[in-house]
């Protein structure tokens, strides 16, 4: 009977760390911004793998912080990590404030797991992730990163004309003619409108 010894760098993660990783993956899965980025393949064909990569980066950051100082990274550090990954991997700048909420949720989850109360929370988050996966998220992509209108040049006037808050008008569907049936059961053929 032989036993295999794993190097210290590849030791099996602890159950709390595995639980935390499950929660982080579920939080990322339910985050609308990342769902859109994956659905629209902003990260290329391997967008889904990039979500897993981001989750592993977050979990590693918490694990390293725990080893070094016995404290978790604060939510600002986690948010910076998320924003950097989204910019580098998905070419996406987040300015809707949702990354801050996600970072706070991740830090809160870490505390719950470390205090031994994480199982219920992770199961709840995984349930939300399953529900989020079943629903569709609508995306609007804002091109350009500048708030200054001076840089837009001459084209800005025509762009302003195109911007409206109203949805586009729907084109009415052509009505189909219902065939007339006479009393003998024959279909009455009408005249063609062409001459």
Delimit the domains of the chain by residue range: 13-133
Query: Across residues 159-182, what is the average pLDDT?
Result: 61
Is the predicted pLDDT of residue 17 greater than 80, yes or no? yes
Average pLDDT over every residue of 155-176? 55
**Mean pLDDT computed over 46-74:** 89
Q: What is d(CA 148, CA 151) in angstroms, rounded to the nearest whole number?
A: 6
Q: What is the mean pLDDT of residues 60-71?
A: 87
For the chain, give the percent of residues with pLDDT over 70: 68
Residue 132 has pLDDT above 50, yes or no: yes
Distance (Å, rounded) from C-alpha 136 to C-alpha 84? 25
If you average pLDDT over residues 103-116, what whole number do you get?
92
Q: Are 42 and 91 in contact (CB under 8 A)?
A: yes
Answer yes or no: is pLDDT of 91 > 60. yes
| pLDDT (0 to 100) of residue 150 | 45
Residue 102: pLDDT band (50, 70, 90) is very high
Higher-confidence position of 149 and 35: 35
Please enumerate in sequence order all residues whose Cβ is within 8 A of that of 37, keeping only pairs 6 or more positions apart, or say none. Answer: 43, 47, 86, 90, 92
Long-range contacts, stretch 153-156, CB < 8 angstroms, 24+ apart = none
Strand-strand pairing, 187-188 and 180-181:
antiparallel
* Average pLDDT for 145-172: 51
Integer angstrom CA distances of residue 39 from 30, 35, 84, 175: 13, 6, 20, 36
Using a pLDDT cut of 90, give the percent of the chain over it: 38
Q: Please check the confidence at residue 1 and state whether its pLDDT lies above 50.
A: no
């Amino acid at each position: 009977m032989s036993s295999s010894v794993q190097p210290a760098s590849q030791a099996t993660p602890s159950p709390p760390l595995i639980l935390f990783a499950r929660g982080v993956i579920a939080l990322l899965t339910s985050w609308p911004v990342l769902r859109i980025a994956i659905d629209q393949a902003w990260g290329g064909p391997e967008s889904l793998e990039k979500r897993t990569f981001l989750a592993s980066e977050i979990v590693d950051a918490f694990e390293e912080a725990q080893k070094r100082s016995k404290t978790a990274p604060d939510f600002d550090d986690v948010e910076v990590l998320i924003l950097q990954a989204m910019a580098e991997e998905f070419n996406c700048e987040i300015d809707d404030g949702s990354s801050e909420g996600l970072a706070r949720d991740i830090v809160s989850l870490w505390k719950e797991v470390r205090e031994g109360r994480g199982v219920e929370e992770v199961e709840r988050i995984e349930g939300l992730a399953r529900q989020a996966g079943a629903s569709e998220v609508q995306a609007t992509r804002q091109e350009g990163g500048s708030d200054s209108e001076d840089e837009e040049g001459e084209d800005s006037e025509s762009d302003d004309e195109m911007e409206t808050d109203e949805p586009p008008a729907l084109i009415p569907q052509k009505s189909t003619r219902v065939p007339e049936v006479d009393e003998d059961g024959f279909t009455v053929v009408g005249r063609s409108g062409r001459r």
